[in-house]
Amino acid sequence: MKVLILNGNPNPERFGLDSWLEGLTGELESAGHDVSQLRIRELDLHACTGCFHCWTKTPGICTLKDDGAEVCRGVVAADLVLFASPVIMGHVSALMRRANERFLPLLLPYIQVVEGECRHASRYDKRPKLGLVVEPGDATGEDLEIIRDTVGYTVKNFRTELAMFVNTNQSIGDVCHAINNN
């Protein structure tokens, strides 16, 4: 399985997420998975401006000249995309949200009714499963449910599934086992 980890950790000295993800990467590669990781903090990734040019003027291509295209290519090529972030102020990092916003070119502007809700049509037939890894810190169960629900909207818009929602308090072996069984 081709796994893309989107690492939304803004500060590796403050949060231990990077080392946990390195351990997970090693376990997944040992199990035969093709794993790549994008550290969003190292990318030139601008915030979406909401211009919708990726739908109207340059279909499927964001007009911002940054690393957003690299993120989108990685997402389209993956079988599983893991959003990874520490919980900051009760939510995933701003870096993680910025990366998520930049998925807009992967969808079409057309609306379809799916299970009674309006959803965008996908630009591509292949859609990766999405997973979420959080470093919870002092987050409450309610915080984690809100995060899961928020990521759930991306899952619904992509018309895919949330393959897993795990935190770094869980063992890497257990998380790797969950990914292997997906």
In the chain, the amino acid numbered 90 is G
Which residues form the domain of 71?
2-180
Classify burial at 5, counting beta carbons within 10 Å of its beta carbon; exposed 0-12, middle 13-18, buried 19 or more.
buried
**What pTM value is reported for the model?**
0.94
Strand partners for 38: 6
User: According to the model, what pLDDT value does residue 181 have?
Assistant: 83
Flag residues of the chain having pLDDT under 50: none
Number of domain units in the chain: 1
What confidence score (pLDDT) does residue 84 get? Answer: 97
CATH code of the domain covering residue 33: 3.40.50.360
Three-class secondary structure of residue 167 per DSSP: strand
**Per-residue pLDDT, 164:** 94
Angle subtended at Cα 73 by Cα 147 and Cα 55, rounded to the nearest 5 degrees: 80
